[in-house]
Amino acid sequence: MVKDQEVERIAKKLDKMVHKKNTDGAIDLLRELKNMKMSLETLQSTRIGMSVNAVRKQSSDEEVQTLAKSLIKTWKKLLDGSEGKSEEKKKGGSPLQSSSSKDCPGSSDTSNKPETPKTPTTPVTPKFTTFPPAPVTTDSVRTKCRELLVAALQTDGKC
């Protein structure tokens, strides 16, 4: 857990820099963080991402901002990758295999029985939304804007 302590030390230094509004030396700390192999647990327990983001927002140095952005992006990829794995474990396998064999009309299940219309598993709700009644106005520009907004928000019912 020496790595966690080192990351916490860097996070405290970065937070002090933000508090004092002086980000001189932040580039060295960010480079240290970039050279470290970061685990998801370390990221979450130390909350280093928040400190790096605060320095990125506070700093006027473009190099600091760029390095901070790249660190945050790589850490987000690490986070997204672990969430995807945990969701697959919860579902018990890849969702594509189970759904594609059931929904595909050319699968081997349909050759045994004559094709019958399948009922959807989820209830179909109408896709139309109701808008509150339009107030009567005599302003032609306002009326036209409302019409254009309604037309843009309405869908034709196709997926």
3-state secondary structure 134-154: CCCCCCHHHHHHHHHHHHHHC
Q: How far is CA 12 from CA 18, 29, 52, 54, in A?
A: 10, 11, 11, 12
Would you say residue 130 lies in a domain?
Answer: no
Which CATH number fits the domain that encloses residue 79?
A: 1.20.930.10
Would you say residue 59 lies in a domain?
Answer: yes
In terms of residue numbers, what domain contains 60? 2-91
Would you say residue 78 lies in a domain?
Answer: yes
The pLDDT tens digits for 109-138 are 444 555 665 655 655 555 555 666 666 678
Would you say residue 26 lies in a domain?
Answer: yes
Q: Could you give the number of structural domains in the chain?
A: 1
Would you say residue 106 lies in a domain?
Answer: no
The pLDDT tens digits for 66-78 are 999 999 999 888 8
If you average pLDDT over residues 94-110, what whole number do you get? 44
The pLDDT tens digits for 22-31 are 888 888 988 9
Please state, in angstroms and rounded to a whole number, the distance separating the CA atoms of residues 105 and 110: 7
For the cut 70, the answer to whether the pLDDT of residue 14 exceeds it is yes
Would you say residue 63 lies in a domain?
Answer: yes
Would you say residue 115 lies in a domain?
Answer: no
The pLDDT tens digits for 80-97 are 877 666 555 555 444 444
Please state, in angstroms and rounded to a whole number, the distance separating the CA atoms of residues 14 and 23: 8
Would you say residue 71 lies in a domain?
Answer: yes
**Could you tell me the pTM of the whole model?**
0.50
